[in-house]
Structure 1
Amino acid sequence: MILPLLATGLVGGLLSGMFGVGGGIVMVPMLMWWARMDQRRASATSLVAIVPSAVVGAVGYGINGQIDYFAAALIAVGAVVGAPIGAWLLRTLPLGWLRWMFIAGLLIIAVRLILVAPERGGSLELDVLPIIGLVVLGFVMGIASGMFGIGGGVIAVPVLIALFGMGDLVAKGTSLLAMIPTALSGTVANVRAGMVDVRQGLIVGIAAACASLGGVALAFLVPPQVAGVLFGILLLAVVAQLSVRAVRAQRAARASAREDAAADAPSDRG
């Protein structure tokens, strides 16, 4: 079991550092395929692993002056509230329509990133509306984190670039810092609910943290235009992955409903 966990962490950590995401977008399916976890357990394990990975990545961006600390704090406020709600939704709701809404949003963001190159030196001007917007962004990010086992960076980074005018490196560093309390909040809720093996999550997380600094170095080397296209392609891969999982979940639900209906139907024998 340890080898699949380590491999999952290395891949997730590299993407985390390079794109400012938690890495859960690849760690969840890898844990399902390689470690044979179901989706709920994989999501909860991924959330544990995101914490050390995000800490190391944020340090890398912070040393290079690429974090907006006030914006990160505002996002974190909303995210800490949203993450337990997302974890509760993960435990209680059929996720069909919520998953399709998330997929549609990611698709729109991916297309924009591919077509419109992000700036490297953009800055955020804080006013009343941007402050409220950052808290709302954090809330949505937290819900997605708790529900899907992701850090929320796939939402935060492109939104910070497109709607708040941040440069791509600052957006990535700010996203990583903001997702630390997000992942911690969701993880606490999952641990209390008995949904996660913390030891396994930490094995993935240590490997992810080791790879995260390499990802940060790549982020500074790759031009913003290329980074935007690569991030957009990554999001398209995520959309495809989530779509396949959504279709499979719907088929399983329909099959279960047919079995229940057949079991409840009166017998013609007798």
Structure 2
Amino acid sequence: MDWKVALGGWVVGLLIGLTGMGGGSVMTPMMIFLFHMHPALAVGTDLVYSCITKLAGTIQHVRQKTVDFRILGWMSLGSIPGALMGSLVVRYLEHQVAIDAADRVIGQMLGGMYILIVLAMAWRWWRKRRGTAPIAPGRVPRVALSVLGLAAGFLVGLTSVGSGALFVSVLAMISSLSASRLVGTDIAAGVLVTGVAGLAHLAFGNVDLRMVVSLLVGSVPGILMGSRLIVRVPEPVVRVGLMTLLSWSSYNLLK
């Protein structure tokens, strides 16, 4: 048991409890910059960790009937093969390109993803302030759901980032789901895509299972604490902090 890793897991869990986001967005750069893991190993470890943490939430949301299975099904038609494709690209880079070059390419992809997520968070914040009405759930085109799922799944399998931020952003853009059903559908979609991609990375040897255990030891109490603090800490403070951290991580990965 590595207590430094567990402490890092607690910090990430606290962010997830406060914002519903921050898992892959913070976990992967933490493993790269603080624990000096290779990007490919950090990606695989984060995917397995994310799948386990989201599974309990999915079970609870299914019991509460806050999962839209129609949207989940059509998105999963794209996101599951997309996650496999992204994982295979990582595998290809590891074996067909020099290790240092592969780490650099994956790091640059991560940096690009962080920029996209910061922009998506800012866009959602702006739309929320304007009160723009999205498309009603029943009118969302099925093909659009699958195509968006394919793109999001590919990026998650490639970088481990975005199973929360990407799916929430996509669903917020194209549907008018209630907050509870938006979160529930997002978490269920995240379990599927991180589970598939995580198994692929595990088969490729890109998962540190001991680190997964240490992260879970810290993140579970962190999530519980964050969930209680959410009513006391202003959401804009947490969002700005998360966006600042992502911007800093992006700068360090792309420079």
TM-score (norm 1): 0.74
Corresponding residue SS for 2:156: helix
195-204 or 179-188, larger mean C-alpha shift: 195-204
CA gap 1:222/1:114 in 2 versus in 1, 3 angstroms: farther
1:112 matched to 2:123? The reply is yes
CA gap 1:73/1:228 in 2 versus in 1, 3 angstroms: farther
In structure 1, what is the Cα distance between the partners aligned to 2:52 and 2:210?
A: 13
In structure 2, what is the Cα distance between the partners aligned to 1:37 and 1:243?
A: 18
In structure 1, what is the Cα distance between the partners aligned to 2:213 and 2:138?
A: 36
CA gap 1:135/1:171 in 2 versus in 1, 3 angstroms: same
In structure 2, what is the Cα distance between the partners aligned to 1:227 and 1:123?
A: 25
Give the ranges of 4+ consecutive aligned residues of structure 1 lying more than 6 Å apart after TM superposition: none
- Residue 40 of structure 1 corresponds to 40
CA RMSD of aligned residues (A): 3.2
What residue identity is the alignment partner of 2:37? M
- Of 247, 251, 254, the residue aligned with 1:239 is 247
- Of 143, 158, 161, the residue aligned with 1:150 is 161
Corresponding residue SS for 1:126: helix
1:125 matched to 2:137? The reply is yes
185-194 or 11-20, larger mean C-alpha shift: 11-20
In structure 2, what is the Cα distance between the partners aligned to 1:209 and 1:133?
A: 35
Matches within 5 A, 1:70-109: 70-91=70-91, 92=93, 94-95=105-106, 98-99=109-110, 102-109=113-120
In structure 1, what is the Cα distance between the partners aligned to 2:143 and 2:13?
A: 30
- Of 181, 197, 208, the residue aligned with 1:186 is 197
In structure 1, what is the Cα distance between the partners aligned to 2:108 and 2:160?
A: 17
1:172 matched to 2:183? The reply is yes
- Residue 162 of structure 1 corresponds to 173
1:205 matched to 2:216? The reply is yes
What residue identity is the alignment partner of 2:253? R
> Unaligned stretches of 5+ in structure 2?
94-101
- Residue 15 of structure 2 corresponds to 15
Query: How big is the shift at 1:20?
Result: 3.2
In structure 2, what is the Cα distance between the partners aligned to 1:47 and 1:208?
A: 14
TM-score (norm 2): 0.78
Relative contact order, higher structure (CA 8 A, sep 6+): 2
Cα displacement string for residues 203-240 of structure 1 (whole angstroms, at most 9, x for unaligned residues)? 32343244334444556x479xx647744652453233
Contact 1:22 1:176 in 2 (8 A): no
In structure 2, what is the Cα distance between the partners aligned to 1:222 and 1:171?
A: 22
Query: How big is the shift at 1:142?
Result: 1.6
Contact 2:2 2:214 in 1 (8 A): yes
In structure 1, what is the Cα distance between the partners aligned to 2:179 and 2:235?
A: 9
Corresponding residue SS for 1:165: coil
CA gap 1:173/1:52 in 2 versus in 1, 3 angstroms: same
What residue identity is the alignment partner of 2:249? Q
Cα displacement string for residues 62-110 of structure 1 (whole angstroms, at most 9, x for unaligned residues)? 5555432332233333221111211222231634775565345324312
- Residue 268 of structure 1 corresponds to none
CA gap 1:164/1:227 in 2 versus in 1, 3 angstroms: farther
Corresponding residue SS for 1:196: coil
Query: How big is the shift at 1:44?
Result: 1.3
> Unaligned stretches of 5+ in structure 1?
248-270
Q: Percent identity?
A: 22
What residue identity is the alignment partner of 2:72? A
